[in-house]
Structures are given as C-alpha cells and as structure tokens.
Structure 1
Amino acid sequence: MEIQRAQEIAASPVLANVLHDGVPIYIQHVDETKGTARIYPLNEPGNEKEVSLEKLREH
C-alpha cells in the first residue's frame, strides 16, 4: 500500500476494508520514515503491531 493512501485511511472517520495477511485490520498510525503502519486486527484491538506498508492490501 502506498504511504499516502495509508495516511488517508488512518485519518478518515470511515472504516476502510484493509487486510494484513488476509485479516481485516485498523490502521492507527503511519510512519513515513520507516514505511510502516501501527495496526490491529478488528477482532483483537489489544493485539497491536507495526508492519510494513507493503504487507497491507485494500480490499
């Protein structure tokens, strides 16, 4: 996923359909410098992790 699109999704009040390894996720924050995003699975809000933007897919 491109950095700009990830930032748009993170800033939007509308939940986008984004997947990480086939799992629906929520993007909390995007780090432009590292090319990563802080995410969590929609069904596990306590399971936060930082992943490469390359691993995210908008469905």
Structure 2
Amino acid sequence: MARASELGGGAIRFERIYDASIEDVWALWTTKEGLEEWFAPEGMHVEVSVLELR
C-alpha cells in the first residue's frame, strides 16, 4: 500500500516497499531501459526519449 505525506511547499513524498533489492529498483529508475520497463504494463510500450538525472 502506498502512503503519501505532505512535506510542505507543495511537495508530496510517496513511500513504497518493493520485494526487490535497492540496486534493482535504482537500475529501473535511473536508466532508459529500466524506466521503459517500469512504466509499461505487459503488452504496452513506453519510449523514453530524454533522461536527465540531477
């Protein structure tokens, strides 16, 4: 179950627990291929054209 708590200044923080290692989740959220896999449900395709992590 996801929980969200307001931090102030218009920011929202979401917390989730995944049955995966930190390294696996990091790879999914910080690579083009990972994000395309994460956000595309089975049978769908998502294409990331630009990825700028700061």
Structure with the greater alpha carbon radius of gyration = 2
Return the TM-score normalized by structure 2.
0.28
Question: Quick check: which one's strand share is greater?
Answer: 1
Return the TM-score normalized by structure 1.
0.26
Q: Quick one: higher RCO (CA 8 Å, sep 6+), 1 or 2?
A: 1
Question: Quick check: which one's helix share is greater?
Answer: 2
